[in-house]
Amino acid sequence: MLNEFQQKAVLLPNKNALILAGAGSGKTRVLTSRIAHLCQKQRISPQSILAVTFTNKAAREMRERVEQLLGYSTRGMWLGTFHGIAHRLLRQHAQELGFDRHFKVLDQDDQLQMIKRLVAHLNLDDRLYAPKYLQHYINAKKDEGVRAESLNDKSVDQEVIRLYQAYELRLKADNALDFADLLLCANELLTHNEVLRSYYQKRFQYILIDEFQDTNTIQYKWLEKLYSGDNTVMAVGDDDQSIYGWRGAKVENIQKFIDDFGEVEVIRLEQNYRSTQIILDAANAVITNNIDRMGKTLWSEKERGEQIAFYEAFNERDEADFIAGRIYNLWKNEHLTLKDIAILYRSNAQSRVIEEALLKEGVPYRIYGGVRFFDRAEIKDALAYLRLMALKSDNLAFERIINTPTRGIGAKTLEVIRDYAADYDLSLWHAAKAVIERKLLSSRALKALSEFINMIEELSEYIDTLTLEDLMRLVLEKSGLLRSYEAGKSEKSQQKLENLKELVNAASEFIPPVEDVETNEARLLEFLSFAVLESGEMQADENIDSVQMMTLHSAKGLEFPYVFMTGLEDGLFPSSRSIDSPKKLAEERRLCYVGITRAMAKLTLSYSKVRHQYGDINYQIKSRFLHEIPDDYIKSVRTSVKKSETPSFGISPFEFLKKNTPDSAFKTGDFVNHTKFGIGVFLKSEGEGDERLYHIDFKAGGGKKVLLAKMAKLSKL
């Protein structure tokens, strides 16, 4: 049964409309019911309808629902993603743009490889002209509808423009399009071919666009070309859920649609069918702090619900332990299904300590739409450097990093090294040294290979003199891994950069599981073994009931009865890159709104007073988003749930940790031992219960420290 405003949208007469569909307001039902109504009641042929959404999953779901309502196949209907519809259009008319209809489409990896080859061909320094940055630049320009030949921006490096031009020529010669080309070429086709434009304008009498707040410049232009004034457009979206500005989405397209498409009827879907009222009230309270909104207020017929739980953690490990303990209690004591629980975080790097806490509790989990921390490519790259430094015969590590990041060592060089290794039964490392000594490569290739070998040998010399944390930091800097991601401006590059910095934290916190680790080299090998044990096999299988962990961006479109939102600190969420930009801060606030509205029944928010970042201790400020939620919506919790004594899932890498020493065991002047900082003098304790702090002077292990008592793991000497 449709509510009043859903019904109004479905039965709308022939006029353009903007459906402002709030979170959980049933927009998919409205879209599919609208299509069924057009076909059944108004006798419109499915071939006269164009329905566009953003993901293949959403398109499949929409088609299935429409066919269920109609009772027959809709194969003739153009229903799909923007890129899918554009691809279909170009397959039929590619020759109009000078391409063969059998053109190939490059994926992201293919595109990057082509750019790398062009960087080398144009004799550009890939450290100054990072291929990933160039890829991001080209795609961003195409999303804005800007071709290389029309670039006249004097502020842009002319070598970048030259490479863009060479890239366009290479695509043409290869009869290939990249992903961004699909939309750009479709727009150019409709722009320059009046006959085709008129044909499709007449064919598509009804155009429906889902997730309109996520459209970018070229998608909007593409839509404009299909509109004639005689057909009708229904745009469905929510300006409060526009969270993809970093990849080109223009939230202002919603207002632009009203301005550009004549008389547009605006219908607000504000009734939420997902969450309790108190969760919606919190979301409304946060989002009202954004200006230039279309404006709406979510409400529900459900019960008001429980107050939002709030946990103030001492540090990120305390936060993770609290979450894992709460989930264990819900699972074992309240018999909750784990798949009904989600843990949301702003940055992928936050997942590491939470994963470890869940493993310690024996709670199965999965990383939704991603991989576990130690399985991420950039983490494996960094660890491969450590592996090769520690064991020169590690051929897999050698092959992984010899040209990562790119340093001018190509496939031909690697082939020569492999052949030499096979002929003389050597490791790739020793074969490479022999190839250099015998000068079996060109002078340029020899120079690049020698620099790589020398770098690894120089780094290896620091194994015995640096702590694991400092060694990790040095490797990231000297290898160029940090620099390669700092050069990339995309959100993905920044996430990888944050993950690498989190790896330094992992190194600084690492405690060997055995007691007889006396040398730095032994500690390094234990850490590498720990990383292997922590990788993929510990993640729950897809068929196992498990907690869902994901970034806030990945959570859009999903819903869970129980949601934990973590790391609500200024500088983390909102991110440090957004705080000084009103536009970016508004998007971060929309992301918070999206996160809150994922919760159906219970929501828990948390933040840490102290957070370790890149090996440093930072004192955090509570997120401004927390301050925007009225106090009477929130209930602070300082609960201590019973922990699992024996993990019931997998093998915990923390079984070796001892139980906390009782507070009463220490007095001023006692000598104590800490697994990381060594021997120290106990100075004093302060606070009570979970808030109790220990002040200790570790004279040889880092000076005076303040530790949370329940996590200190101290033993008295």
- Type of residue numbered 525: L
Which tens digits make up the pLDDT trace of 110-135?
888 899 989 988 999 887 888 888 99
Q: How far apart are CA 277 and CA 306, in angstroms?
A: 9
**Residue 27 pLDDT level (bands cut at 50, 70, 90):** very high
Residue 322 parent element (H or E) = helix 316-332
pTM assigned to the model: 0.75
**Residue 513 pLDDT level (bands cut at 50, 70, 90):** low
- Helix ranges (H only) for 629-690 are none
CA-based nearest residue to 44, from 8, 77, 72, 10: 77
Q: How far apart are CA 322 and CA 207, in angstroms?
A: 49
Look up 598 and say whether it is catalytic: yes
Look up 75 and say whether it is catalytic: no
Please give the distance of CA 239 from its chain centroid, rounded to a whole number.
Answer: 21
Q: What is the mean pLDDT of the chain?
A: 87
Which tens digits make up the pLDDT trace of 73-99?
888 899 988 988 998 898 889 889 888
Contact 717, 669 (CB under 8 A): no
Which tens digits make up the pLDDT trace of 194-250?
999 999 999 999 999 999 999 999 999 999 999 999 999 999 999 999 998 888 899
Active-site residue, from 6, 27, 352, 602: 27
Q: How far apart are CA 32 and CA 51, in angstroms?
A: 10
| 674-703 mean pLDDT | 73
Token pair listed for 133 = 């940055």
pLDDT of 410 above 50: yes
- Helix ranges (H only) for 94-207 are 108-121, 131-143, 158-173, 179-192, 194-203
> Cis peptide before 405, with omega less than 30 degrees from 0?
yes
pLDDT of 333 above 80: yes
Contact 85, 50 (CB under 8 A): yes
Q: How far apart are CA 468 and CA 244, in angstroms?
A: 37
* Share above pLDDT 90 across residues of the chain, in percent, rounded to a whole number: 56
- pLDDT for position 691: 65
Token pair listed for 163 = 């490479």
CA-based nearest residue to 179, from 273, 245, 255, 81: 81
Domains of the chain: 4-90+184-271 (3.40.50.300), 104-174 (1.10.10.160), 308-372+534-636 (3.40.50.300), 381-514 (1.10.486.10), 663-716 (2.40.10)
Active-site residue, from 28, 191, 307, 661: 28
Active-site residue, from 126, 210, 316, 469: 210
Look up 518 and say whether it is catalytic: no
Q: What is the DSSP letter of 211?
A: S
Contact 479, 401 (CB under 8 A): yes
Q: How far apart are CA 430 and CA 508, in angstroms?
A: 32
Q: How far apart are CA 598 and CA 109, in angstroms?
A: 32
Q: How far apart are CA 384 and CA 381, in angstroms?
A: 5
Look up 27 and say whether it is catalytic: yes
Contact 549, 365 (CB under 8 A): yes
- pLDDT for position 533: 57
CA-based nearest residue to 371, from 192, 536, 223, 498: 536
Token pair listed for 690 = 């979970």
Active-site residue, from 74, 201, 241, 404: 241
**CA end-to-end span of the chain, whole Å?**
71
CB-based contacts of 25, cutoff 8 Å, min separation 6 = 269, 270, 271, 272, 273, 298
Active-site residue, from 598, 602, 611, 705: 598
Look up 241 and say whether it is catalytic: yes
Active-site residue, from 178, 211, 312, 498: 211
Look up 210 and say whether it is catalytic: yes
